[in-house]
Amino acid sequence: MTISASGSTVGAPYGKLALLASPTPKAQDAAQTLAASRDWVPLEEADAVIVLGGDGFMLQVLHQMLDLDRVVPAYGLNLGTVGFLMNKQKSSRSLEERLSRARPVAISPLRMDAVTNAGETQSYYAINEVSLLRETRQTAKLEVTVNGKVRIPELSCDGVLVATPAGSTAYNLSANGPILPLGGNILALTPISPFRPRRWRGAILPDTAHIVVRALESVKRPVLVVADQQEIRDVSEVHIRAWRDHQLTLLFDRGRSLDERIFDEQFLA
């Protein structure tokens, strides 16, 4: 691993650092190299966290912080596949120098409250997207309400999703949804394989919007909901809104920040 950590905190904006690595051999090897380079603290005591792995592991760490109610800036080093939320592993600069130069990007997760056919309510948070999907071969029929007004009485489709700007280049983009700029305080509401109405290709909404998706004929046409990696089956109604009270912060090397990557995605052939 060519990135180094000198152990010195001179000029570093974060005094106490936690180190978390995915269980993959590559990430574990990198963690062993960094572990001896300085004193590390548990996440609960850290001013920032260094995350070794890919986008999936970064999402796990961000969710862990939300669960602990201990949210600190996260600086990721890509030891996974895509690494959209991560920084390059190799650099001629020390870890402290990279941290001191890093640009913070604030991200508001989504709060999802799902009501099942049994009448139970479960709540989860999503950093990328909340997706409603049909459970069987039968098409889902969904009613879409925004800010208390029914906007689509019946959407026949494979599903629908709500994506944040950070997640707009993930599943949302694969479903032909728009790429959203960071800092725009907007969300993407995107249908998945819509059948009727045929012309509806989704909407861009302010992140103050309260979105409710109700499953019509939810017993005959069962629907599940996924908030990032958490799945709930047999849902009848889902409420989605931005959770601004718990903003997350990602740290990026200058010149390759998340918003620059989002720009790049829009001009790829």
What residues are designated binding site?
55-56, 128-129, 158, 166, 169-174, 230
Q: What are phi and psi of 33, to 5 degrees?
A: -65, -45
Q: How far apart are alpha carbons 144 and 151 in whole angstroms?
A: 6
H or E segment and range at residue 101: helix 95-101
Whether the Cβ atoms of residue 241 and residue 111 lie closer than 8 Å to each other? yes
- The Cβ of residue 118 has, within 10 Å, a number of other Cβ atoms equal to 7
H or E segment and range at residue 156: strand 149-157
Q: What are phi and psi of 47, to 5 degrees?
A: -90, -20
DSSP assignment letter at 17: E
- The closest alpha carbon to 166, from 248, 230, 221, 88, belongs to 248
Binding site feature residues for NAD(+): 55-56, 128-129, 158, 166, 169-174, 230
Active site residues: 55
